[in-house]
Amino acid sequence: MNKKVSEEQLQEWLKQTEPLTSLGRVPDYIPALAKQDPENIAVGIFHLDGDCVGAGNLETTFTLQSISKVLALALALMDQGEDYVFSRVGMEPTGDPFNSIAKLEEEDPSKPLNPMINAGALAITNMIHGITPDEKVGRLLSLVHEMTNDNTIRYDEEVASSEFETSYLNRSLSFFMKQHHVIDGSVEELLDAYTKQCAICVNIKQLARIGAVFANLGKDLETGRQIIPKHLARICKTFMVTCGMYDASGSFAIRVGIPAKSGVSGAIVGALNGFGGIAVFGPALDEKGNSVVGMQLLETLSSRMDLSIF
Ligand code: DON
């Protein structure tokens, strides 16, 4: 797929979506995220040949939040294998909000429906190899370093501790799953690892490069080295299609048609085989927790460049 867009065109599309910032809300359930400036927006595309274009605030950094769930899934699959992972977490979309507890009680055995909702993601983080939370997060950071070719990336301590202090719902999900033997070990340590994982901090081009590695079937863009086995990268992208935008995944598939994952920081990453990675950032969210600017920008990119996989 040899489609490229100029930086000027990207700037123009970003400018058109800018007024939408007033239609969304910056989340306040993680206090540190409430400080984000809704007008601080950016877009970046990383092509498989290494070409990269961007527009907006390319310097700004933001936390991965739920985008980290895809990376944690890749690592857990590499650590434990598919059979183990999917014996504890399902493969089906929920149609519920990302932090819903409802389906956990309905399912028997009580396993989370997929790795993209919070319950499933907590169970996935629980599976990552590492004795301490910092060891798990360190291994996840190493994966991020490999995918971005940048080993300076860290997690934001303020965002991590802000979420850790206020994670009442995620603690509830975890205790419920511990009762039902979906997770084991200390819930506090799990929350420590999970909140640090969600607070991994990147800029728009680094995020686009993460998408590009998935689009490149798990291989490093420069060396061709297999960072994530191809079949596991495919599983991750399939979850991005079916569950990546939570209960907006169906309409997103129709409107945009690009495997993508969003986070409550306002970031979204897309991974398009044969094309590359696309990252968008805009902290104002719609009622489902997806970036308003990001959703519109991806729709514009998809329709103007004919990017839908369907
Ligand atoms: O666990 C949480 O609630 C956040 N750390 C991540 C949620 C999230 O990003 C949902 N995305 N749209």
**pLDDT one-digit tens code per residue, 185-235:** 999 999 999 999 999 999 999 999 999 999 999 999 999 999 999 999 999
Q: What is the mean pLDDT of the chain?
A: 96
Question: Between 133-148 and 187-198, two packed helices, what is the crossing angle to 10 degrees?
Answer: 20
Active-site hit among 136, 194, 205, 241: 194
Pairing of strands 260-262, 201-203: unpaired
Q: How confident is the model at residue 54 (pLDDT cuts 50, 70, 90)?
A: very high
pLDDT, residue 45, reads: 98
- How far is ligand 1, taken at its centre, from the CA of residue 19, in Å? 25
pLDDT digits (tens, 9 = 90+) for 102-126: 888 887 778 899 999 999 999 999 9
Pairing of strands 267-272, 276-281: antiparallel
Active site (annotated) includes residue 194:
yes
d(CA 310, CA 307): 9
The label of the residue with tokens 């519920």 reads 96
- Whether the predicted interface score ipTM is above 0.95: yes
Pocket test for ligand 1, best of 29, 71, 98, 191 (most atoms within 8 A of CB): 98
d(CA 178, CA 187): 8
Active site (annotated) includes residue 69:
yes
The atom number, within ligand 1, closest to the CA of 98 reads 10
Of the listed ranges 111-115, 154-158, 261-265, the one predicted with least confidence? 111-115
pLDDT digits (tens, 9 = 90+) for 63-87: 999 999 999 999 999 999 999 999 9
The atom number, within ligand 1, closest to the CA of 290 reads 12
CB count within 10 Å of CB 110 equals 16
d(CA 33, CA 300): 27
Active site (annotated) includes residue 53:
no
Helices (H), 150-186: 157-166, 168-179
Say if ligand 1 is within 6 A of residue 118 CB.
yes
| pLDDT over threshold 90, residue 1 | no
d(CA 265, CA 285): 9
Contact 277, 271 (CB under 8 A): yes
pLDDT, residue 102, reads: 82
Average pLDDT of 153-161? 98
* CA 258 to each of CA 74, 278, 292: distance values in angstroms, whole numbers, following the listed order: 19, 9, 16
Contact 265, 63 (CB under 8 A): yes
Q: How confident is the model at residue 95 (pLDDT cuts 50, 70, 90)?
A: confident
Residue 44's DSSP bridge partners are 54, 279
Q: Determine if the peptide bond prior to 109 is cis (ω within 30°).
A: yes
Active-site hit among 53, 69, 111, 262: 69
Q: How confident is the model at residue 100 (pLDDT cuts 50, 70, 90)?
A: confident
Contact 215, 275 (CB under 8 A): yes
Say if ligand 1 is within 6 A of residue 163 CB.
yes
Q: Which amino acid is at 178?
A: K
Q: How confident is the model at residue 96 (pLDDT cuts 50, 70, 90)?
A: confident
Helices (H) and strands (E) in the chain, counts: 13, 7
Active site (annotated) includes residue 246:
yes
188 labeled part of a ligand binding site = no
pLDDT digits (tens, 9 = 90+) for 29-44: 999 999 999 999 999 9
- How far is ligand 1, taken at its centre, from the CA of residue 3, in Å? 32
29 labeled part of a ligand binding site = no
d(CA 95, CA 288): 11
Say if ligand 1 is within 6 A of residue 24 CB.
no
pLDDT, residue 217, reads: 98
194 labeled part of a ligand binding site = yes
The label of the residue with tokens 């990336």 reads 153
Contact 287, 247 (CB under 8 A): no
All structural domains of the chain: 7-65+202-304 (3.40.710.10), 66-198 (1.10.1500.10)
Say if ligand 1 is within 6 A of residue 262 CB.
yes
